[in-house]
Amino acid sequence: MSSTHAAIASAALPAGSSTAATASKALTVGIVGLVLTALGVAVTPDKHGPVMSYLVGITFCTSILIGMLMLILIHHIVDASWSVVIRRQFEHALSAFKWLFVLFLPLLVLAWVKPGFVWPWMDLGHELHGHGTVGTDILYQKKAGFLNLNMFTGMTLAFFAGWVWLSARLRKASFTQDLDGDIKWTFMNRQTAAFGLPIGALTLSFAAIYWVKSLEYHWFSTMYGVWFFANCIRGALAIGVIIMIWLWNRGDYKGVLNTNHFYSIGMLAFAFTVFWAYITFSQYFLIWNANVPEETFWYNLREVNHDGSTNQWWYVGLVLLFGHFFVPFLYLLSYKHKVVHSKIKPIMWWILAVILVDMCYNILPALKDGHGDSLPFLSLNLLWVLTSVVGIGGVCTWSYLKSFPTAKLLPIRDPRISESLTHHE
């Protein structure tokens, strides 16, 4: 952070708006969460549960940041106006990408130290249920050019490098424009958006394939990247609203935001609720209808045990159907529910919770018992999911709060700031 930024920004913030104390608290909470997760790994006889839960946590937090990155890029490419006043908060949050990379490192190290511990295909000697090992599996052999440790490591590094680099460019241009008001920064951000969107689309798609989909490496779906994108945007919008209300309650956004900002972001949240449902339904429906075993096994794992009995994941699927779609869909139909702070805030927390459940649904059934059945959803693993989210989320919050005082509350020299401040329906 440059001292000039800090000096200018602090002068603009209202008295008592310091975020240093809150940042420290967030970091403390984050560290506690991470320590508890580490303890979980230490004390649990089968280490897989806490480690996979940690993967849920980091995928969840990364997805939210990717969503913020994509929203900023879309904002610039379409020369949007109403979202200018909110954009700055997303820019602060992007500072957490580098910390997410640091927090992903344990998984990368684990992949090298103990291949196959998280992603079974990394261990060629890994026993498959009923048909030999990964190394002798024809399906693995066909994919070995993509599913190998070197590629995984290189691609993961490339994903984070891309996100950190794009974030740095966006933040630099936006923050510097506060100082000099030069229009060239707006054009620079548009350029970043132009090449950043394809980069973002490809990296998020392949991150979803490598980190999540490849846990069941036999399975494939062309829709998977789009499903991940839908969750990314929904998570980003939810956190966006929560930040807006937090800053409103602090006094920072009073007189800055109006009802229409909440209405617009609420509408976007509604639209992406429908989009998520559309994507998720299409994927499920096409696989269910075709009924090809090489595809349906992924859903079967999430519905039935080897003896035909229904497992817990079937109910989790219903929670997703109703909780991830019907509840927010019906709730956000109401105008009041989008603009009244006390109404919109709970549904945004709810959306975040069901995104987390969706991540669990996609990741945790890879944990299997001796029969090849997925371990139940209601287990100690849920605790480790929560400690991971608290830990990683705490670090991200700390990063956001550390960045917060380094720039103005609003992009005061953005060419569309006046339009944003007078945003109306």
Report the C-alpha gap between 135 and 125 in whole angstroms: 6
Report the C-alpha gap between 371 and 328 in whole angstroms: 37
Question: Which of 64, 72, 226, 352 is the binder for other proteins (CB under 8 A)?
Answer: 226
Q: Compute the least distance from the CB of residue 136 to other proteins, in Å.
A: 14
User: Phi then psi for 133, rounded to 5 degrees?
Assistant: -115, 170
- Binding status of residue 114 toward other proteins by CB under 8 A: no
- Binding status of residue 225 toward other proteins by CB under 8 A: yes
Scan residues 340-399 and list those touching other proteins (CB under 8 A): 340-342
Residue (336 or 371) nearer to other proteins, CB: 336
Q: Compute the least distance from the CB of residue 250 to other proteins, in Å.
A: 11
- Binding status of residue 419 toward other proteins by CB under 8 A: yes
CB contact burial 127-159 (16+ within 10 A = b; e otherwise): ebeeeeebeebebbeebeeebbbeebeebbeeb
Single-letter code of the amino acid located at 256 = V
User: Quick one: which segment of 61-69, 97-105, 124-132, 251-259 binds other proteins (CB under 8 A)?
Assistant: 251-259
Question: Which of 63, 186, 311, 374 is the binder for other proteins (CB under 8 A)?
Answer: 186
Are the CB atoms for 384 and 40 separated by under 8 Å? Answer: yes
Report the C-alpha gap between 351 and 276 in whole angstroms: 12
Q: Compute the least distance from the CB of residue 422 to other proteins, in Å.
A: 5
Report the C-alpha gap between 336 and 323 in whole angstroms: 20
Helix axes 48-77, 84-93, angle to 10 degrees: 150
Report the C-alpha gap between 240 and 346 in whole angstroms: 13
Site map for other proteins, 266-295, x if CB under 8 A?
--------x---xx--xx--xx-xx-x-x-
Q: Compute the least distance from the CB of residue 408 to other proteins, in Å.
A: 7
Question: Which of 194, 318, 330, 380 is the binder for other proteins (CB under 8 A)?
Answer: 194
Best CA proximity match to 392, nearest among 161, 104, 92: 104
Are the CB atoms for 395 and 30 separated by under 8 Å? Answer: yes
* CA distances (Å), origin 62, targets 37, 164, 377: 18, 12, 22
Question: Which of 21, 138, 307, 309 is the binder for other proteins (CB under 8 A)?
Answer: 138
Binding-site ranges for other proteins (CB under 8 A): 12, 14, 81, 138-139, 142-143, 146, 177, 181-183, 186, 194, 198, 201-202, 205, 209, 220-223, 225-226, 248, 251-259, 261-262, 274, 278-279, 282-283, 286-287, 289-290, 292, 294, 339-342, 408-410, 412-419, 421-422
